[in-house]
């Protein structure tokens, strides 16, 4: 751990706290050379989230792939890359918190959709049309109808 002041590599730990249910440790250190105090975070290496694909293959959860689909779903929408990265973080944390082994790709998609709906409704429809593999236009229209009804509920809540 390099001291931010003098770049000395020797420091002693004066306090450590674990958080995130013990998966992370925050350490308060003091440089042995100049006495500067600084904080370090250490995160336990986590096992990857495995995703069970429709064809039966299991592969590690691919953040960048999800980010890429989200980028195309939010094209020309007012959603920044930063927002999308935070979005992927949230989804990943949600999955991790209830992770008990490979998660079905469909349930991963559902979790993304639930959150995307709150982020951007157009992106939600675009993503859903790809992810849910709509059989036909009726199905897509049904989804659109649900969405419109949902937004009407919201506007009613505001006027009340």
Q: Which is nearer to Zn ion, 35 or 60 (CB)?
A: 35
Look at residue 16 and give its three-state secondary structure. strand
33 contacts Zn ion (rule: CB under 5 A) = yes
Total binding residues toward Zn ion, as defined by CB under 5 A: 8
Dist CA 85 CA 63 (whole Å): 9
Interface with Zn ion, residue 9, by CB under 5 A: no
Residue (10 or 62) nearer to Zn ion, CB: 10
CB of 5 to Zn ion, least distance (A): 4
Classify each residue of 92-108 as buried b or exposed e, where b means 16 or more C-beta atoms within 10 Å of its C-beta. beebeeeeeeebebeeb
Residue nearer to Zn ion on the CB measure, 8 or 83: 8
Cβ-based nearer residue to Zn ion, 9 or 93: 9
6: contact with Zn ion by CB under 5 A: yes
Does 14 sit near Zn ion (CB under 5 A)?
no
Nearest-approach distance from CB 41 to Zn ion, in angstroms:
19
d(CA 40, CA 15): 11
Give, for 4, the enclosing helix (H) or strand (E).
Answer: none
Q: Which residues contact residue 77 at a Cβ distance below 8 angstroms, ignoring those fewer than 6 apart?
A: 120, 122, 123
Taking CB under 5 A as the criterion, the residue among 3, 51, 84, 103 binding Zn ion is 3
Shortest CA distance to 23 belongs to which of 49, 43, 39? 43
Smallest distance from the beta carbon of 40 to Zn ion, in angstroms?
13
Residue 31 binding Zn ion, by CB under 5 A: yes
């Amino acid at each position: 751990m390099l001291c931010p002041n003098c770049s000395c590599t020797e420091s002693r730990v004066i306090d450590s706290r674990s958080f995130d249910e013990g998966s992370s440790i925050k350490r308060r250190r003091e440089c042995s050379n100049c006495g500067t105090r600084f904080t370090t975070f250490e995160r336990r290496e986590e096992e990857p989230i495995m995703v069970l694909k429709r064809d039966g293959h299991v592969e590690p959860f691919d953040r960048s792939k999800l980010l890429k689909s989200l980028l195309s779903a939010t094209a020309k929408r007012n959603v920044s890359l930063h927002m999308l990265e935070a979005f992927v973080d949230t989804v990943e944390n949600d999955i991790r918190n209830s992770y008990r082994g490979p998660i079905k790709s469909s349930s991963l998609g559902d979790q993304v959709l639930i959150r995307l709906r709150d982020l951007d409704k157009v992106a939600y429809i675009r993503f859903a049309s790809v992810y849910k593999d709509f059989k036909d236009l009726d199905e897509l229209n049904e989804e659109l109808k649900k969405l419109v009804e949902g937004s009407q509920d919201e506007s009613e809540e505001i006027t009340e």
